[in-house]
Amino acid sequence: MSAKPIKLVGAAVLAVAGAAGSFTLTTVVMDQMPDALLIGVTTLLAALVVVTIRAAGLGRFLQATPPRDLIIAALGGAAAFWVAPLVVLSQRASDAPSGSEVLFFTTAMWGPIAVAVAVVVLQERPAWAGFAGAALAVAGAAALLANWERPSSFSPFAKFPEQEIVMLGAGAVFALGSAAILMVARKHDNRLVAAVAAGGAGLLSAVVAVFSLGDYGQTIVRLSTELILLGVSQAAFIGGWTSLTHERGLLRSSSVLLSIPAVMTTLFVVERVTGIFGPIPFQIPAVVAGALVCLAGAVSVWIAGTGTAAPAATSGRLAEVAGFLAWLGLAGAAVALFRPALSAAAQGVLGDGFSATWVMVGAESAAGWILFAAALALLAAVRTRRMGSPSATWVSLLVAALVALAASPMLIDTTLHTWNQWVPAAVQQTYGTEYARFSVEALVDPVWIGSAVLVVLSAVLLLSSVLIDRRRAARPELEETQ
């Protein structure tokens, strides 16, 4: 944990850039050859890059390290860097699930899974801060991805639920593989453990790829530039991710996964502004709001538990009331998830026309989940402060919750799924054209508003209790006289 900040930031940037590059390049070449061959070739290339860079001392390390540790690292690498991407790719067709859904289920949603594995398997703490920050980041990511376009193709668990659940399973494989590598890295030289992990992934992927080669030799040659770039992207991710998990632990490193949708969106905005690949009809204010929530949650996970532990809070009654209000806010937000939040309408004019209006509940809206996650974050802030966690932990959670609440009005009419099983497919496929339309309008829910007010009140009381504690600490004689 003693790495310099610049090194940590460098590893984080490498991991994010590697993941973003891998996602983009995989989308470019995925339909051109069998999944096992594509992932096999690129994982082998990535392994070659990592092993080459970290070759110094590798021979001695292999001889001196217990075989059990080497096998765990190699299998962990194979799971995280070969099996997980292969499973994901096996669930993707050219445009189904949509790019926004795949990005969501293979980056942001892997964040809480990594946090869960870090808490359960590696016993990393603080669990509350990790889960709350991850929840906020996931809610923000969903909100921003649902605003990449309108009508949005982002409809998690609506059109391709099986594929998306399998992608979550791949996330568990990735997190468990990362945990295995980390456990070995904590006992040995991390750089060389990472090389063994990459080597394990490369070796197994190469063996399987040979059986998928068939007559795709020419295709590999034709796509050599893309495949090399993809291999380098994967190598960057492996290098950055293994360094980061070693220095910051798996829980805090999951912030990298959580932030990828926001980072990729930023790249797309740059692309839109420069007009390199043409426009994407982003809903800019909503996307910015979603990205802020996503990044605020990711930052709180990145910071969680770092710094010097503080003495437990003493301003008893005020902090208790803050905690009580936060619980009430969370309960209200949970209730709001089941209450009417949006009025939706779908209309199609092709063939036999279709026209329907219905009500969507809070669980189908971005604002519903953002309020829930904000209340959770505030509750985590109250709890972590009471338990004497470093101030950066609860301050970042408090700030993230307030950022989320401030951003939620921009996301009040964002639905988390446009696709419905029961609306005729012919209508849904022509949404956004002159033949069909889908629209949503926010409904006023007093429970949502009341819960948001409770969360804000809780935040105010938490800050007040901090000020009182500081005043008491500065004037201990007052304590004695009272």
* Choice between 26 and 428, CB closer to another protein: 428
Q: How far is the CB of 431 from another protein (least distance, A)?
A: 12
> Within 10 Å of residue 100's Cβ, how many Cβ atoms?
24
Tokens of 304: 């969680």
Touching another protein, residues 255-294 (CB under 8 A):
275, 278-279, 281, 283
Among 51, 127, 143, 229, binds another protein (CB under 8 A): 127
Stretch that binds another protein, among 94-102, 119-127, 203-211, 250-258 (CB under 8 A): 119-127
* Choice between 155 and 190, CB closer to another protein: 155
* Choice between 129 and 466, CB closer to another protein: 129
Interface with another protein, residue 304, by CB under 8 A? no
Which residue, 455, 467, 187, 173, is CA-closest to 318?
A: 467
Among 116, 141, 262, 447, binds another protein (CB under 8 A): 116
d(CA 395, CA 176): 30
d(CA 240, CA 234): 10
Interface with another protein, residue 157, by CB under 8 A? yes
Amino acid at 298: A
Tokens of 149: 């376009």
Interface with another protein, residue 156, by CB under 8 A? yes
- The binding track of 305-344 with respect to another protein, each residue x by CB under 8 A or -, is --------------------------------x-------
As a residue count, the chain comes to 482
C-alpha dist (Å) from residue 408 to 128, 150, 329, 371, 403: 22, 18, 15, 8, 9
Interface with another protein, residue 387, by CB under 8 A? no
Interface with another protein, residue 402, by CB under 8 A? no
Ramachandran category for residue 449: left, alpha or beta (phi over 0 → left; psi -120 to 50 → alpha): alpha
- Terminal alpha carbon distance of the chain: 43
Interface with another protein, residue 356, by CB under 8 A? yes
Q: How far is the CB of 374 from another protein (least distance, A)?
A: 15
d(CA 348, CA 435): 6
Among 421, 476, 481, 482, binds another protein (CB under 8 A): 421
Among 28, 210, 312, 359, binds another protein (CB under 8 A): 359
Among 162, 434, 477, 480, binds another protein (CB under 8 A): 434
Asked if 250 contacts 117 with a C-beta cutoff of 8 angstroms, the reply is yes
Interface with another protein, residue 416, by CB under 8 A? yes
* Choice between 61 and 131, CB closer to another protein: 131
Q: How far is the CB of 208 from another protein (least distance, A)?
A: 30
d(CA 153, CA 98): 6
Asked if 382 contacts 323 with a C-beta cutoff of 8 angstroms, the reply is yes
d(CA 225, CA 207): 22
* Choice between 58 and 356, CB closer to another protein: 356
Residues 6 or more apart whose Cβ sits within 8 Å of residue 339 = 361, 362, 445, 447, 448
* Choice between 44 and 381, CB closer to another protein: 381
Tokens of 444: 């006023």
Interface with another protein, residue 108, by CB under 8 A? no
Q: How far is the CB of 304 from another protein (least distance, A)?
A: 15
Q: How far is the CB of 351 from another protein (least distance, A)?
A: 8
- The binding track of 73-102 with respect to another protein, each residue x by CB under 8 A or -, is ------------------------------
d(CA 152, CA 168): 22
DSSP designation for 441? E
Q: How far is the CB of 220 from another protein (least distance, A)?
A: 31
Tokens of 326: 């936060």
d(CA 401, CA 398): 5
What is the total count of residues that contact another protein (CB under 8 A)?
Answer: 44
Asked if 419 contacts 308 with a C-beta cutoff of 8 angstroms, the reply is no
Stretch that binds another protein, among 184-192, 237-245, 353-361, 380-388 (CB under 8 A): 353-361
Q: Is residue 433 helix, strand or coil?
A: strand
* Choice between 314 and 357, CB closer to another protein: 357
Amino acid at 46: A
Q: Is residue 347 helix, strand or coil?
A: strand
Q: How far is the CB of 25 from another protein (least distance, A)?
A: 23
> Within 10 Å of residue 356's Cβ, how many Cβ atoms?
14
* Choice between 32 and 430, CB closer to another protein: 430
Binding site for another protein (CB under 8 A): 112-113, 116, 119-120, 127, 131, 135, 150, 156-158, 161, 165, 275, 278-279, 281, 283, 337, 347, 349, 352-361, 363-364, 416-417, 420-424, 432, 434-435
